[in-house]
Amino acid sequence: MNFRAPVVCPGSRLKFNRVASATLALAVQLVPRWLPHGRRVGSEWVARNPTRADRHPGSFKVNLRSGRWADFATGDAGGDLISLRAYLDGIRQGEAARRITREIGA
């Protein structure tokens, strides 16, 4: 998966807006990979939260159009797919953006 616009500027400083846009454009492919035990319901991906002992999909949702996500059982939420990746991997958003950049080949 290659996204044409570079997401790293000279000096290796990430362009968060470009990473977020590139990730959102690929949300339909990336989110099911990150949350494989879910299903698409309209414009949302409904899954179990892998960061807790969640037995049934339903309370953890990702909007595939906006990138917003939430676990309605815990109150955890974020506004884009970079924050989702950071949450899932237990890392800071900068590192999540770098991982996503490598994953999408940008």
What CATH number should be reported for the domain holding residue 71?
Answer: 3.90.580.10
Q: Long-range contacts made by residues 40-47, C-beta under 8 angstroms, separation at least 24?
A: 40/64
Q: Are strands 69-71 and 8-9 parallel, antiparallel or unpaired?
A: unpaired
pLDDT per residue over 46-104, tens digit each? 999 999 998 888 899 999 999 999 999 999 999 999 999 999 999 999 999 999 999 99
In-domain check, residue 63: yes
pLDDT tens-digit readout, 9-30: 444 456 888 899 999 999 999 9
Task: Measure the CA angle with vertex 49, ends 58 and 59; round to 5°.
Answer: 25
Domain contains 12: yes
pTM: 0.84
Structural domains of the chain, count: 1
Residue 2 located in a structural domain: no
Checking if the pLDDT of 8 tops 80, the result is no
pLDDT on residue 15:
85
- Looking at the domain assignment, is residue 60 inside a domain? yes
Answer yes or no: is 45 within a domain: yes
Report whether pLDDT(2) > 50. Answer: no
